[in-house]
Amino acid sequence: MLMPATRLATRLRSRRGTASVELAIVMPVLLSMVLGISDVAMTTVAKFKSSNATATGADLATQAANLQNADMTDIFAGALNVMAPLPSAGMGVRITSVAATGNGSAIVHWSCGLGSLQPLQARAGFSKLANGDGIENALNMSNFSGGGYNYSGTDISLIQVETTYSYTPPAGFVIKTAQVMTAAYIDYPRQAGYVGFPWDGVTTHPPPAPSTTTKTGSTTLSNGATCNYAY
């Protein structure tokens, strides 16, 4: 038996009304989920990029035997460029050369800081990496033989790069406050036992080895970074 046209029309309108009500109830939930996923995804991307920027800085800083001020500025720029298309203005970066002294300890050879991360003091004692590990393991400064510890020579160093990055997702629906991310990475010089800085560019004027330094100095790069160094 066919349903009268008026009754069919009424039932269709009723179904459309029910669907509209259901959509009105579900839509806010779906929208919240989408915006929440967007916040989490963008924050994850920011953390991934800041970690990569840290590793990039360490990689660039260890490729040459000696660095001029312009080279150091380029290293900072290379690390910050990894953050694109995210803003890098809020990122703090510190690049530090740590060297063994030959007596079982280590000192800061030089350190450059940009933004919220200030440079470490040159010739200051250095015992722990940013991740809390002891420096003696990273530099392999001593070995046990002949009934005691024999300290390694002074031609041993590493580069540590630290970053801090504050990021707030654009939507800010679920994550409403700035997320502060920190990262640290170490790498080892590839051309010599240490990376000399600052260098004047003259081949016969390499920066002194860490073990021979007695004084400290400071310089400011063109990007505003401050560097402390031993000479």
pLDDT in tens, 46-68: 999 999 999 999 999 999 999 99
Confidence of residue 90 (pLDDT cuts 50, 70, 90): confident
SS3 12: helix
So what's the pLDDT on residue 2? 46
Decide the pairing of beta strands 216-220 and 226-230.
antiparallel
Task: Read off the amino acid at residue 201.
Answer: G
Whole-model pTM: value is: 0.82
Domain ranges of the chain: 12-230
Strands in the chain per DSSP E: 91-100, 106-114, 142-145, 148-151, 157-167, 179-187, 216-220, 226-230
Residue with tokens 């800010």: 172
What's phi and psi for 226, nearest 5 deg?
-105, 135
So what's the pLDDT on residue 91? 96
What are the residues whose beta carbons fall under 8 Å from the beta carbon of 71, sequence distance 6 or more?
64, 199
Task: Read off the amino acid at residue 63.
Answer: Q
Task: Read off the amino acid at residue 101.
Answer: T
Task: Read off the amino acid at residue 59.
Answer: D
Mean pLDDT of 95-111: 92
How many whole angstroms separate alpha carbon 203 and alpha carbon 216? 22
So what's the pLDDT on residue 35? 60
Report whether 119 contacts 111 (CB < 8 A): yes
Which of 121, 104, 103 has the alpha carbon at shortest distance from 112? 121
Model confidence pLDDT, tens digit, residues 183-220: 999 999 999 999 999 999 999 999 999 989 999 999 99
